[in-house]
Structure 1
Amino acid sequence: MALALIHCSEKSKKTASIPTKNAHYTKAGDYRDSGNYDSAFVYYNIAKNDFLKINDTLGITKSLINMAIIQTDYGDFFGGIETSLEAEKFLKNNDSITNQLKSSNYNNLALANDELENFDNAQKYYNLALNTTQDNESKYIYYNNIGNTFLGLRNYQKAREYYARALRTKDSISYARTLNNIGRSYFLENKNANALPYFSKSLEIRETKNDSWGLNSSYATLADYYKEKNAQKSLFYAKKMYEIAQKINNPDDQLEALQKIIFLENPIKSKELFKKYDLIRDSVQTERNKAKNQFALIRYETEKKQIENQKLKTETVEKENRILRLYFLLFLLLISIFGGYFWYQRRKKILELEKEREINNTKIKYSKKVHDVVANGLYQTMVELQNKEEVIKDKLLDQLENLYEKSRDISHEPSEDASLEFYKKISLMLSSYSSEEIKVIIIGNTEHLWTNISEKKKKELFYVLQELMVNMKKHSFANLVAIKFEKNLENLFIKYTDNGVGIQDLEKKTGTGLRNTGTRIATIDGVINFEKNPKGGLIVTLNIPI
């Protein structure tokens, strides 16, 4: 049985050893092939960690399976099971290579459980190995091993059913092994059964093939067979087993052979042999204990070294990152300094331009005020003097004094006559331009019209209308002027019409007064349009939102 398991283990080693591109994996294979299994285990573990870094599941699995096989072969059965179960987590695909690896891994799990006499688990994993392998010779080996588990369970009939399947093998060594196992099943079931032909045929094939491991198994079986039938023959085969167990360096089989010899040999020799037995047993126990811990220790040391290396790399990277951050902060500081300098210069220039614009706007503002308040007011007074036959001296003096007060402090807002309602003020201003030569018609200027119109809009509209009337008086030669006021819920509409000569080069409208009207209307979000009157003269429309 031991020979069959070891042979199967050798088979699984070959199955798991699929080449891969990794220096540590290759080195591990070299150590394994030369029999240096401790070093092989170390490098398979390093290779596994290499594959983990690049997420190469195939490489990870192959490394773990080889590690598990080494553990099982060295008697670390629980460790071998643990490592195989770890490998199983990565065997998710269903392709031919993955199935081959699954078969090898299941076989190792079965072997370890078989050695621990967990025969039910061993059968489960052998059957899984059978279902995943495509190699017939591997299947025959698994049939043989399943037969061995039934033999361990003393189900001899079931064991022979699987041995019968295993006999289909074309490999003579496997065939001899199965013959020997069939003989054992008959002998264990019935000590008087005729099992010798199976043992003899198996021994003959093994001697022909010089199969040392197989001969070791045959000698053990024959020593048991003759134990009660022929003590001398039993002792002969026990001694042959001991010799070959020493040759193949199998301490477990040496112990088994010594047990048989001690039982059959005379007491004097048995005493010496017992000392040797104790010595080997202690050595085997020590090796077993060592095997249980050495691979775990190897993995621990390897992992610890890799963690330390990774920690060193991390510290180096962090140091480099700190230096880079310092350079980056220095770069940002320099950028900030230069950026701040250029921003200051640009801001300074913008402020200078804004100051210059403010000065220009102030000039324009005062110019417009002089034009609106003084020039137009003075012109309106002149028009009244021209249009009226009688001039009231006191009223004229009041008007002139008012213009004087306004011009003395032009930067302040002009004082308004609060006692006069706005619609009357508008009518008064427009009517002042009416004379015998010029007829001014005012339509729709009522008190209700100016309700909800802001004071700012009223003031600006007053100056715009005043500017239009001044322009008419100076340039249009009109004798008829109409100003129409209308309002809806959203807008105020004013339409100015005269029958004068109109404005030459209407598109340009270069006069200061006309430019002022456009500016004023824009400040109150209104729209002003100048059009030629089809009947001759000028039409100006104003649209102001309420």
Structure 2
Amino acid sequence: MEEIFSNEDKVIITTLIGVLMLLLMGVALLVFFFLSRRKITEKELEKKTLEIGYQKEIIQSIIVTQEKERKRIAQDLHDDISSKLNVINLNANLLKDGELTAEEFITVNDGILTATDKTLESARRIAHNLLPPILDKFGFKEAVEELVDTFNNSRKIDINYNLKYPKKHLNSSQELHLFRIIQELINNSIRHGNATKSTLVIEEKNKSLFLNYSDNGIGFNLKELEFKKGLGMKNIESRVSILNGIFTIETDINSGFAIKITI
């Protein structure tokens, strides 16, 4: 009996140990699951925080860009339009007074006509900067071709381009954003990159639009964020974000610049 009882005790003890081991394993799994879940949640929160921070930067960049545009337009209106209208106003008052010789009358009248022509030219230029007429009348592809040809004719840079843009692939507002991106890229190549040659390719594949741009300029260090901002990259970044696009940059000091944008 003692031997049987002893065996039963051993079975009970073994069973209890097994149950305890299972419980410990269960608790360990629960703790592991809890800690893993907590870590995943923290990572998700961190990711969300970064996304929110990124969105705030983009919004701030858009606001700054809009304010710069407003200031530029206000400056153009003040310098080009207001000053010329003041000249017209002064000359018109001279005519109104009527105390002019025939020769003076002709001189003042010619001055009014000249100032009027210059005012109209300035108004057209300001309007062109706000919305290029060719973009509105003929479309995105033609507007980009005119832009590139203008730069090529200036001989500041030689741009080789290949535009395979399906008409109306983007709406008019999106086309304007993409046009401004190209404009900014070329300006950056000339002003900051000291580039003499660049390449622009636009094509559509599988309903996505691809823009590849590169130049032979001095490039820059991607880690220097303040340098990127100085090159207007924040402006480009904000416009790409508005277009729900993504971009990658390849550049280094004395190694040129290249950007790939996918929309």
TM-score under structure 1 normalisation? Answer: 0.26
Contact 1:495 1:539 in 2 (8 A): yes
Q: Structure 1 residues 364, 494: CA separation in 2 closer, same or farther (over 3 Å shift)? A: same
Alignment partners' CA distance in 2, 1:374 and 1:530: 34
Alignment partners' CA distance in 1, 2:220 and 2:117: 34
Aligned to 1:466: 183
Q: Equivalent of 1:369, from 69, 72, 79? A: 69
Q: Structure 1 residues 517, 368: CA separation in 2 closer, same or farther (over 3 Å shift)? A: farther
Q: Detail structure 1 runs of 4+ shifted over 6 Å in the superposition.
A: 359-362, 371-375, 394-397
Matches within 5 A, 1:33-432: 363-364=63-64, 366-370=66-70, 400-404=122-126, 414-417=130-133, 418-432=136-150
Q: Secondary structure at the match of 1:456?
A: helix
Deviations 1:238-260 (A, max 9, x none): xxxxxxxxxxxxxxxxxxxxxxx
Q: Equivalent of 1:517, from 209, 225, 236? A: 236
Alignment partners' CA distance in 1, 2:185 and 2:208: 21
Q: Identity, % of aligned pairs? A: 19
Contact 2:188 2:231 in 1 (8 A): no
Q: Structure 1 residues 479, 399: CA separation in 2 closer, same or farther (over 3 Å shift)? A: farther
Q: Secondary structure at the match of 2:232?
A: helix
Q: Secondary structure at the match of 1:476?
A: coil
Deviations 1:254-312 (A, max 9, x none): xxxxxxxxxxxxxxxxxxxxxxxxxxxxxxxxxxxxxxxxxxxxxxxxxxxxxxxxxxx
Deviations 1:443-469 (A, max 9, x none): 1x14x5343222222111011111111
TM-score under structure 2 normalisation? Answer: 0.51
**1:431 Cα deviation after fit:** 2.1
Contact 2:61 2:234 in 1 (8 A): no
Deviations 1:322-368 (A, max 9, x none): xxxxxxxxxxxxxxxxxxxxxxxxxxxxxxxxxxx9x9788525325
Q: Secondary structure at the match of 2:250?
A: strand
Compare relative contact order (CA 8 Å, sep 6+) and give the higher one, 1 or 2: 2
Aligned to 2:200: 483
Alignment partners' CA distance in 1, 2:150 and 2:144: 10
Contact 1:506 1:530 in 2 (8 A): no
Contact 1:372 1:463 in 2 (8 A): no
Alignment partners' CA distance in 2, 1:426 and 1:363: 25
Alignment partners' CA distance in 1, 2:74 and 2:184: 12
Q: Which residue type is aligned with residue 364 of structure 1? A: V
**1:484 Cα deviation after fit:** 0.8
Contact 1:368 1:516 in 2 (8 A): no
Unpaired segments of 5 or more residues in structure 2? Answer: 1-56, 76-115
Alignment partners' CA distance in 2, 1:506 and 1:429: 31
Q: Secondary structure at the match of 1:492?
A: strand
Q: Structure 1 residues 360, 502: CA separation in 2 closer, same or farther (over 3 Å shift)? A: closer
Contact 1:526 1:543 in 2 (8 A): yes
| Residues 1:499 and 2:216 aligned together | yes
Q: Which residue type is aligned with residue 454 of structure 1? A: N
Q: Which residue type is aligned with residue 525 of structure 1? A: N
Q: Secondary structure at the match of 2:142?
A: helix
Larger radius of gyration, structure 1 or 2?
Answer: 1
Q: Structure 1 residues 533, 495: CA separation in 2 closer, same or farther (over 3 Å shift)? A: farther
Q: Structure 1 residues 484, 373: CA separation in 2 closer, same or farther (over 3 Å shift)? A: farther
Q: Which residue type is aligned with residue 460 of structure 1? A: H
Unpaired segments of 5 or more residues in structure 1? Answer: 1-356, 376-393, 408-413
Alignment length, in residue pairs? 161
| Residues 1:455 and 2:155 aligned together | no
Alignment partners' CA distance in 1, 2:258 and 2:65: 27
Q: Structure 1 residues 399, 501: CA separation in 2 closer, same or farther (over 3 Å shift)? A: farther
Q: Structure 1 residues 442, 512: CA separation in 2 closer, same or farther (over 3 Å shift)? A: closer
Aligned to 2:161: 442
Alignment partners' CA distance in 1, 2:141 and 2:74: 22
Alignment partners' CA distance in 1, 2:117 and 2:150: 14
Alignment partners' CA distance in 2, 1:372 and 1:463: 15
**1:373 Cα deviation after fit:** 7.1
Deviations 1:406-455 (A, max 9, x none): 89xxxxxx445232322111111122222445211111x14x53432222
More strand by share: 2
